[in-house]
A and B are shown apart, each in its own frame.
Chain A
Amino acid sequence: DTGVSQNPRHKITKRGQNVTFRCDPISEHNRLYWYRQTLGQGPEFLTYFQNEAQLEKSRLLSDRFSAERPKGSFSTLEIQRTEQGDSAMYLCASSSQGVGPNTEAFFGQGTRLTVV
């Protein structure tokens, strides 16, 4: 599969624990986006990278959240001291340029986080 890959697909964790998710974008895509999707809602933007540079962070991204893309390829999203409100689907997307009329964003299948 040459699409966007996310691991793990599912994660159940106890409140207060730290979790880390990984996203492998389509090869040579320099833009990488993280979104959060809760039940019945559309994806909400969290942050995005151009290569290894983090260009924008949503105010949804509290201090407990951190994202990295150290070599401009895969990215990780870490949530520290998880809370029940963090339960959601975390989606990653990539594009060859900034999303726009000539550039499609391709999504991964997401990591479903459940905090108990």
Chain B
Amino acid sequence: GENVEQHPSTLSVQEGDSAVIKCTYSDSASNYFPWYKQELGKRPQLIIDIRSNVGEKKDQRIAVTLNKTAKHFSLHITETQPEDSAVYFCAASIPGFGNEKLTFGTGTRLTIIP
């Protein structure tokens, strides 16, 4: 089955600086890569996702890049703000009936230092 690795496990950045979180996946059949943000005591919420036929996607201060050849994808947050502090999870999904589940990375705790 799919295996997703995520680094770093913790990340602290100064407010206003950029943060980058990286993930690798094992199954080349994966075609969907969402990123979830989970604040303390709250549910995971989708913040951005990317399909395997797209190399980069941007939404305001967040962007995701995908390298299918290397089987890795990254989350980029620019101009970080205190409300960006949370745990971020990457995930991958393999298409096809019976495979329709997300395999998550282990998470990155991002702390924005004011």
Q: Which residues of A approach B to under 8 Å, CB–CB?
A: 4, 31, 33, 35, 40-45, 48, 55-56, 91, 97-101, 104-110
- Beyond A40-B107, A99-B93, list 10 extra A-B contacts (CB 8 Å): A4-B43, A33-B102, A42-B4, A45-B101, A56-B101, A105-B46, A106-B46, A107-B44, A109-B43, A110-B43
- Determine if B78 is an interface residue (Cβ-Cβ < 8 Å): no
Q: Which residues of A contact B45 (CB under 8 A)?
A: 107
Distance, CA A29 to CA B61, complexed state (A): 30
Q: Which residues of B approach A to under 8 Å, CB–CB?
A: 4, 6, 9, 31-32, 34, 36, 42-46, 49, 51, 89, 91, 93, 95, 97-107
B98 and A55 form a contact (CB under 8 A): yes
Q: Which residues of A contact B6 (CB under 8 A)?
A: 42
Distance, CA A33 to CA B43, complexed state (A): 14
Q: Which residues of A contact B46 (CB under 8 A)?
A: 104-106
Distance, CA A40 to CA B91, complexed state (A): 16
Q: Which residues of B contact A99 (CB under 8 A)?
A: 32, 93, 100-102
Q: Which residues of B contact A98 (CB under 8 A)?
A: 95, 97, 99-100
Q: Which of A42, A97, A100, A101 contacts B107 (CB 8 A)?
A: A42
Q: Which of A48, A101, A110 contacts B49 (CB 8 A)?
A: A101
Q: Which residues of A contact B103 (CB under 8 A)?
A: 45
Q: Which residues of A contact B107 (CB under 8 A)?
A: 40-42
Distance, CA A40 to CA B109, complexed state (A): 9
A48 CB → nearest B CB, Å: 6
Name the CB-closest residue of A to B2.
Answer: A45
A91 and B101 form a contact (CB under 8 A): no
Can you list 25 A-B pairs, Cβ within 8 angstroms, ordered by A? A31-B100, A40-B106, A40-B107, A43-B44, A43-B89, A45-B103, A55-B97, A55-B98, A56-B99, A91-B43, A99-B100, A99-B101, A99-B102, A100-B31, A100-B93, A101-B31, A101-B51, A104-B34, A104-B49, A105-B102, A106-B46, A107-B44, A107-B45, A109-B42, A110-B43
